């Protein structure tokens, strides 16, 4: 093999190494970037608009009462509401509404909310489906919300059956 052929092969090998290396670097950045971008709960602030959405999309409401001064509310934010499994479940199965206890006292009183954090699940027809009082971890929250969703579906089936009679 002559010197010219060796040089061409060396350049070709170097090109392959550069292309592969650049691709792996880009892939690594994409993976790291995807780990940083966690899903977030799409909280609604307007209860009336959220109720309209729940009726349109046939989903129950998840009302979460909190307050700026509440340390356990902050803990829920940093340990529970940031969990990707919980976040995805809530966004897919509920219309989530976040309400400040101080500015929504009337709604809180109607729903017997007397502390925070406090979650209330309601059907689109305002049937009480469940409550979560205080701090709860993401796994327990998903379990509770799964039972709430099952109850909502049973109520819907019962209403349909009663309407057929």
Q: Given this model, what pLDDT does residue 50 score?
A: 98
Phi and psi based region of residue 79 (left: phi greater than 0; alpha: psi -120 to 50; beta: remaining): alpha
Element spanning 142, H or E: helix 138-164
- Superfamily of domain 47-164 in the CATH hierarchy: Glutaredoxin (3.40.30.10)
* Pairing of the two strands 61-66 and 118-122: antiparallel
Identify the band that residue 19 occupies on the pLDDT scale cut at 50, 70 and 90. Answer: very low
In tens, the pLDDT along 100-112 reads 999 999 999 999 9
Chain mean pLDDT for the chain: 86
In tens, the pLDDT along 39-63 reads 999 999 999 999 999 999 999 999 9
In tens, the pLDDT along 88-101 reads 999 999 999 999 99
- Say whether pLDDT at 73 is over 50: yes
pTM (two decimals): 0.77
Are the C-beta atoms of 65 and 106 separated by less than 8 Å? no
Mean pLDDT (whole number) for 8-19: 47
Mean pLDDT (whole number) for 4-9: 51
Phi and psi based region of residue 112 (left: phi greater than 0; alpha: psi -120 to 50; beta: remaining): left
Our CA dihedral for 54, 114, 87, 44, rounded to 10 degrees, sits at: 40
In tens, the pLDDT along 125-147 reads 999 999 999 999 999 999 999 99
Assign 55 to helix, strand or coil: helix
């Amino acid at each position: 093999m002559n010197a010219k052929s060796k040089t061409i092969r060396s350049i070709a090998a170097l090109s392959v190494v550069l292309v592969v290396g650049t691709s792996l670097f880009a892939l690594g950045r994409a993976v790291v970037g995807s780990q940083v971008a966690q899903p977030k709960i799409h909280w609604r602030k307007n209860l009336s608009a959220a109720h309209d959405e729940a009726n349109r999309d046939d989903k129950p409401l998840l009302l979460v009462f909190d307050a700026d001064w509440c340390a356990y509310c902050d803990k829920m934010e940093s340990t529970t509401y940031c969990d990707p499994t919980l976040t995805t479940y809530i966004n897919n199965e509920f219309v989530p509404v976040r309400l400040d206890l101080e500015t929504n006292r009337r709604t809180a009183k109607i729903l017997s909310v007397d502390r925070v954090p406090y979650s209330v699940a309601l059907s689109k027809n305002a049937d009480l489906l469940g409550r979560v009082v205080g701090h709860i971890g993401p796994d327990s929250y998903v379990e509770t919300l799964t039972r709430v969703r099952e109850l909502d579906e049973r109520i819907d089936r019962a209403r349909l059956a009663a309407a057929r009679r």
